[in-house]
Chain A
Amino acid sequence: MLSRVAESLYWIGRYLERAENVTRLLMVTTEVAVEIEGLDDALAQSQWDELLAAVGADGGPPLRFSQETGLALPYVRWLLLDESNPVSVRRSLAQARENGRTVREALTLEVFLDLNESHRELDGLNDEVLGDPVRALDEVGRTHRAIRTILGAIEQTLSRDEGWNFMKLGEAFERTQRTLWVLGTRLPGLESLGARDLPLFYGLWRALLRSMASLENYRALHGAHLDPDSVLRFLLFEPTAPRSVRCGISRIGQYLQRLPSGADSEDARRIVGRLDASLRYDADEILANGNAVSFCTDTSQTIAKAHDAVARGLFRV
């Protein structure tokens, strides 16, 4: 497969995952912030600040939680639609679609149609729609469904060949990083809140699981009782949870193993292999230090090195 095509497919996987993640985080944070607002305005504001940091959009214009509307319209606009925000859903979908246009021969008609349509629909949204809180939230939900439709088309129609492998590799990189970034930004706040306000405390842990599409999965394993340590272990080490760090690293490793012979992926495999072993066998040591946050930061940097190794060995032949 052409290196350029492989790279584009990798980025389609990443951009789609990013668009899905940002949309889901936006939905969950909106609900949580509405719930908290009035009880603890500073906490509500911090939910938004953490979200911006977790998606890498904290370099944007200063935003304030809007108390007049009781809803987070400025954030919805900034994260869903703003073209000057490099991680807005609109930008991610546009990038995925632009990459799709350059490698359309590697996609099925279904994938391209869904990609193109969702991009066009989001592009057609205007500030008027987003000025109305109910319609705005409707649009966020609709956008999330549209993205899941694209992912469904990929799942249902794409051949499980090298191109698919690259797309999934990109998805796994992005997803694993997202979990690490979300944990890295949310954990300090959760820890400082402590047991100060128990209903809010558990509400935020529940929201953390929901923002990783993991609440039901967690309950199926541990029951309805939310124990912060179990939640953290679940999101870091649970092998069956699709958004846990361990699952993500293991998937990255599998996709690297499946690359064609002759592909230069030794560096990336070595980095990911070490990380995989550590996540399998060192869980207690990692948590015993009491510093999950620095583990998240370090691991995220290691994964970025693995990405660089992939780009060096496979995309820039």
Chain B
Amino acid sequence: MEWLREEKGYDEIHAAGGEPREHYTRLLELLGEIDEADLNRRERLQQLSLLNQGITFSVYGDREGTERVFPFDFVPRVIPAHEWRRIESGLVQRVTALNLFLKDIYTERACLKEGILPWDLLLSRKEYKRELLGILPPRDVFTHIVGTDLIRDESGEYRVLEDNCRCPSGVSYMIENRNLLQRSFPELFSAYPVQPVENYPSELLDVLRFVARRSDASHPVLLTPGVYNSAYFEHSFLAREMGIPLVEGSDLVVDGSHVFMRTTSGLQRVDCIYRRIDDDFLDPLVFNRESTLGVPGLINAYRAGNVSLCNAPGAGVADDKAIYAYFPDLIRFYLGEDPLLAQVPTYVGARPDDFAYMLEHLDSLVVKTTGDAGGYGMLMGPFSTREEISEYREGMQRNPGGFVAQSLVELSFHGTWIDRKFAPRRIDLRPFALCGDGVEVLPGGLTRVALKEGSYVVNSSQGGGSKDTWVLAGGGD
């Protein structure tokens, strides 16, 4: 079977000369032994299995397809042990620094006093919750579950695109992808020492118990916005795998600064909540008053030290776009070492030199406003007209501090079974780190793939799919 290639970007499978990289050689041989009809048959079975098991995500406002399967591509992404060791140590360093940073900005604020991060930049972040100043979560852990998105540049170097310190999702698909591939292509696993990923829920439960207020007799719960949330399958999956109750806001009630759940035997105390609801919806008394998803009084119970929240409220500020630009310096400040993982070079409008560079190179940069999310107020320089650029430039000059810019990054590509061919499609990688008694990085992650030809968009809501991600054990490089 033919493997098509792409001109731009790093080829995950093939080396420059066209021969497969060493860790892909055997995989390509094994796939080559399966004929086309069989590949298609197995792909159909995978699809059916996902539907029957209800491994779906919800799409808002789409009556016909309210539940959709997250497309799965059976060609696994293989990461050799030596590459993984670099990623792993880089993530341990990063997650450690993220937590030190969060502790610092909610207490001492040394990074501001030492001039590592400008005051006004931090204070203008919406996710920086001044209501929570001075409150330390149990064991000083702010962000317990971190999903950091990595991409590979044209030289093949892994770079951090962004951190997700709020409610990163995708881990359930990572585990189900492995189950699915093991059932439908068992022979592929025979030739590779693939590290298992199924232990994640148990490690997550350990973290929840570690930070619970009564860690010896704790019964954590998972708080979901409900069945209409796009990540509901994952909430249900994790609660089931951990064997803990899946609760909605209306199942919980705060009385006398303690949190209780409504059970058939009356109210029962809750001391640790893995919440999959954003800060703003957690507690209508403190944050968004309109929220019906949250629990009135929850933040008060948290302040009183009667309940742990994972991730801690206020942790979201650590993955802000502008703070990202300062993160290499923050790692040096807190840990006294250089960052192990590169980032995408980012220019911050608040720095005069950066701003001058941004203005000169608008036609080659991607410019984002720091306050907005979801691609709003963005300028894609290489794809914009001269008029759009000059209009955008005027807006920037009125408020330099409100903008950051990055070069357009090329994503690596990976062979993907599309229309009876192995076609090149762009991918990224979201590994998952847990922070409790130390930082653990799960050997694997969610590889998302942009299924549309030429696309850079890997999001599930916009034509993205995923792959099983194999991290090979020590001897397998």
Query: Chain A residues in contact with chain B, CB under 8 A?
Result: 1-6, 98, 101-105, 109, 112-113, 116-117, 120, 162, 166, 259-263, 314, 317
Contacts and interface: CB of A to CB of B under 8 A. Distances in A.
Contact of B236 (A4, A98, A101, A116): A101
A3 B251 contact: yes
A103 B226 CA distance: 11
A103 B239 CA distance: 10
B53 A314 contact: no
A317 B262 contact: yes
B261 interface: yes
A259 B239 contact: no
B52 A3 contact: no
A103 B251 CA distance: 13
Given A104-B236, A104-B240, A262 B250 contact: no
Given A104-B236, A120-B52, A262-B266, 14 more contacts: A1-B264, A2-B247, A2-B251, A6-B264, A98-B227, A103-B246, A109-B53, A112-B53, A113-B52, A113-B53, A116-B51, A314-B264, A317-B262, A317-B267
A256 B259 CA distance: 28
B45 to A, nearest CB: 14
Contacts of A112: 53-54
A164 to B, nearest CB: 13
A162 B54 contact: no
A238 B261 CA distance: 42
Interface residues of B, number: 23
B263 interface: yes
A100 to B, nearest CB: 9
25 contacts: A1-B263, A2-B245, A2-B251, A2-B263, A3-B251, A3-B264, A98-B227, A101-B54, A104-B54, A105-B236, A105-B240, A105-B245, A105-B246, A112-B53, A113-B52, A113-B53, A116-B51, A116-B53, A120-B52, A259-B264, A260-B264, A262-B265, A263-B264, A317-B264, A317-B267
A6 B261 CA distance: 13
A80 to B, nearest CB: 21
B274 to A, nearest CB: 13
Contacts of A102: 226-227
B248 interface: yes
Contacts of B263: 1-3, 317
B245 A5 contact: yes
Nearest to A7: B264
Contacts of B262: 2-4, 317
Nearest to A113: B52
A157 to B, nearest CB: 14
Contacts of B250: 4
Nearest to A4: B251
Contacts of B264: 1-3, 6, 162, 166, 259-260, 263, 314, 317
A93 B255 CA distance: 38
A147 B245 CA distance: 27
Contact of B227 (A2, A101, A166, A314): A101
A260 B265 contact: yes
A168 B252 CA distance: 26
Contacts of A259: 264
Contacts of A105: 236, 239-240, 245-246
Nearest to B67: A101
Contact of B52 (A104, A117, A263): A117
Taking each of B54, B236, B262, which has the highest tally of chain A beta carbons within 10 Å of its own beta carbon? B54
Contacts of B266: 262, 317
Nearest to A162: B264
Nearest to A116: B54
Nearest 10 pairs of A and B residues by beta carbon:
A262-B265, A105-B240, A317-B262, A105-B239, A104-B236, A260-B265, A3-B262, A6-B264, A102-B227, A105-B246
Contacts of B267: 317
Contacts of A260: 264-265
A42 to B, nearest CB: 43
Nearest to B244: A105
Interface in B220-245: 226-227, 232, 236, 239-240, 245
Contacts of B240: 104-105
A210 B182 CA distance: 46
Nearest to B226: A102
Contacts of A162: 264
Contacts of A6: 264
A13 to B, nearest CB: 15
Nearest to B235: A105
A261 B265 contact: yes
Nearest to A265: B264
A162 to B, nearest CB: 7
B224 to A, nearest CB: 9
Contacts of A120: 51-52
A1 B53 CA distance: 25
Interface in B247-290: 247-248, 250-251, 261-267
Contacts of B239: 105
A4 B224 CA distance: 13
Nearest to B56: A101
A109 B54 CA distance: 10
Contacts of A101: 54, 227, 232, 236
B261 A2 contact: yes
A309 B261 CA distance: 21
B366 to A, nearest CB: 39
Interface in B131-145: none
Interface in B161-177: none
Contacts of A3: 251, 262-264
A152 B239 CA distance: 25
A317 B268 CA distance: 11
Nearest to B240: A105
Nearest to B236: A104
Contacts of A103: 246
A196 to B, nearest CB: 52
A2 B240 CA distance: 14
